[in-house]
Structure 1
Amino acid sequence: MKSPLGMAHRITPGLWWTLSLAVALADQAIKYVIEGSLSVGAVVPLTPVFNLVHFWNTGAAFSFLADAGGWQRYFFILLALVVSIGLALLLRKPRAKLEALGYSLILGGAVGNLIDRSFRGHVIDYLDFFWQSWHWPAFNLADIGIVGGAAMLLLSSVLSPSAELDRGR
């Protein structure tokens, strides 16, 4: 019996790698536009709950380790490189589509932020959602890829039985 997410049709790794590249390139294109059109710290209100911003993040999610003195840049570069290589290799093997989609989105997001850290020394964040005086930390398309990919992996693990369980039936 096939899983609802199906492994019936083998999708080549090239498709998943291309999706990852598209996420990273789209993220970099938006960051290029933000860099060229908004000064650092700029806030452009667009709706009652959303601003377009230009912020620098030298840390990780929620600015974790942002004030660590500089070593964190190299730590996050190394971490992103290891994770990216691991995910690219993982995508070489057949996977359920939702699982492969999750890995692809995480890979694209990791590469998008890796490029920032490597060449800019910081990650550019440009999306700022808020409600009244409460602001979610600013983020970018690469972050959406990482979080969306993690959500796909969680969904995949809930919707498809594990290989071990399948073998026992």
Structure 2
Amino acid sequence: MADAGTCGALWADWWGFKAEAYDAVQENILIVDRARNGRGCAVVHSDSPEGIQRLNQEAGKVIGVARRAGIEVAPEQAIRWLTANAARVLGIEAQVGTLERGKMADVVLWNQNPFSVYAKAEKVWIDGALLYDRADPARQPTYDFMLGQEPL
């Protein structure tokens, strides 16, 4: 796959729940990513609507598996599994996937390591506009269950 420039979209630790995941191993992303001296291309994938919202935590699982195997994964490498490599798979890497002048980007500022289950989004910019700020009540989402109720 690395020689052909092919990326693999893989689950962090799901296995056995359907045919293509039957013989998966937790090291899959790491193996694909490190193929041919780092020329591999892995993408963290999820079939779950809940899991897709937490791909940063899925990547964190791979970092943990790698660490237990004695391999350190740099955060800038792990973020590629979610951003640049995914854009490459979709053929849109010229427009998105990395923070570069002229590219479109939605950006999240985390309060700590984004691969931690304890990380919280502090600010979110979409198309250059600050749309969420944890410290600013005016930039908080409105939830359906709060409609028609007095603010807390």
TM-score class, shorter: under 0.3
Q: TM-score, structure 2 length as denominator?
A: 0.24
Give the structure with the higher percent helix: 1
Q: Which has the higher contact order (CA 8 A, sep 6+)?
A: 1
Q: TM-score, structure 1 length as denominator?
A: 0.22
